[in-house]
Structure 1
Amino acid sequence: LAGKRVKVGHAGTLDPLASGLLLLGYGPGTKRLEELTGLDKTYEGTIRLGAVTPSYDAETEEQDAKPWEHLSADGIGAAVDSFQGTQQQRPPLFSAKRVDGTRGYHLAREGAEVELPPATVTVHEIAVLAVRGREVDIRVRCSKGTYIRSLAHDIGQRLGCGGYLSGLRRTAIGPWEVDGAPGPEDWSEHLR
């Protein structure tokens, strides 16, 4: 690759604290990336109940601690299940969405109190994988533009105790799965 310029792009970003699958295109493959951004995504994440954060994830400090111990696994499951389907979802201010040309996360870090407009998203499948004390592991298959951080926040609100996303891994984009996908260390091989 020394001295060679190769055009590289991606089909959708990951949140700063997230891990998992990211589709990359290089050379002529970058022309297909836009059509790939519309594919459904699958995630596995952990919701931490009993508090909220300004970013809806573990990037910012917990606030508004509330009791969660009274919640049953069945009650949590029912609340999670209620988010399946097409709905209006408000993105977190800590996001790349623009407000009058400025990224939301810039406004949030400056302390601005702005509410982003809701967007229509579809949660095709959502399931509780495990409940471990205040930690709830979920799997979600959703449409483009769905914020799992907002979903975690909204589930916490529905349960009345607050909640935020404490971990997130994208496991699939359309037909591509993270298992068996090349890692960052493998990319130099693909670019030769």
Structure 2
Amino acid sequence: MKTIKLLAIACISAITFASCSDDENPTPTNEEEVITTMTITLTPASGSAVTLQTRDLDGDGPNAPVVTVSGNLLANTTYTGAIVLLNETEDPAENVTTEVAEEADEHQFFYSATGISPTFTYAGTNDSNGNPVGINFSVATGAAGTGTITVTLRHEPNKTATGVSGGDITNAGGETDIEATFNVTVTNPAVL
């Protein structure tokens, strides 16, 4: 009988301790953004804009993202770039770009290229510490050729690490919210 009473007291004590918490106000977690679609519009001073888009409506599902490029870029031309991020699992689609802008201190876009030699420059609004976010940027294409452009959005990068504010992702750390690689062709302008 004594063993049963001790066992009952032990069980009640365990339940009491397990149900109590010292943390009366748990820290809210900031869930990562759901991004199904990234659309990048590159607009030259004159001529037609080129759109780069990746769209993955099933997320980690079996279908690969649909990646499209609307046309060729012109050699030795500067384009202004703007990025729009959407969560198309919502109806209507949620514009995640707004959230990234609001949480500018916690986000940064990075741009890189292989096979071609464009120069990327951050533009637009910086975060509260004067570091780039990269929703807006410019790209000078350089010589004609074919290659890829990769655009990466990092969540909570170390923006004070060496090279990060200049666009070097090497020391950025953080987690990748979205990354896409686009096959691009840079052509010489037609001679009239």
- The structure with more radius of gyration: 2
Task: Considering fraction of residues, name the structure with more strand.
Answer: 2
Which structure carries more relative contact order (alpha carbon 8 Å, separation 6+)?
1
TM-score by length of 1: 0.26
TM-score by length of 2: 0.26
